[in-house]
Amino acid sequence: NAGVTQTPKFRILKIGQSMTLQCTQDMNHNYMYWYRQDPGMGLKLIYYSVGAGITDKGEVPNGYNVSRSTTEDFPLRLELAAPSQTSVYFCASRLGASSTDTQYFGPGTRLTVL
Amino acid sequence: RKEVEQDPGPFNVPEGATVAFNCTYSNSASQSFFWYRQDCRKEPKLLMSVYSSGNEDGRFTAQLNRASQYISLLIRDSKLSDSATYLCVVDNYGQNFVFGPGTRLSVLP
pLDDT in tens, A85-108: 999 999 999 998 777 788 999 999
Q: Which residues in chain A are contacts of B49 at CB distance < 8 A?
A: 100, 102
Choose, out of B96, B98, B103, B104, the residue to mutate when testing the contact with A (most A CBs < 10 Å). Answer: B96
| 3-class secondary structure, B81 | helix
Q: What is the pLDDT of residues B10-62, one digit of tens each?
A: 999 999 999 999 999 998 888 889 999 999 989 999 999 998 888 999 999 99
Q: Is B63 on the interface with A (CB under 8 A)?
A: no
B102: pLDDT strictly greater than 90: yes
Which are the contacts of B77, defined by CB distance < 8 A and separation ≥ 6? B16, B18, B59
Give residue A81's identity as a one-letter amino acid code.
A
Q: Do residue A105 and residue B100 have CB atoms under 8 angstroms apart?
A: no
Q: How far is A73 from chain B (nearest CA, A)?
A: 18
Choose, out of A33, A34, A43, A95, the residue to mutate when testing the contact with B (most B CBs < 10 Å). Answer: A43
Q: Do residue A105 and residue B44 have CB atoms under 8 angstroms apart?
A: yes
B10-46 core/surface letters (b: 16 or more CB in 10 A; e: else): ebebeeeeebebebbbeeeebebbbbbbbeeeebbee
Q: How far is A41 from chain B (nearest CA, A)?
A: 6
Q: What is the pLDDT of residues A32-88, one digit of tens each?
A: 999 999 987 889 999 999 999 999 999 899 999 999 999 999 999 998 999 999 999
- The pLDDT, as a whole number, for residue B92 is 76
Q: How far is A81 from chain B (nearest CA, A)?
A: 22
Cα(B65)–Cα(B4) distance, integer angstroms: 14
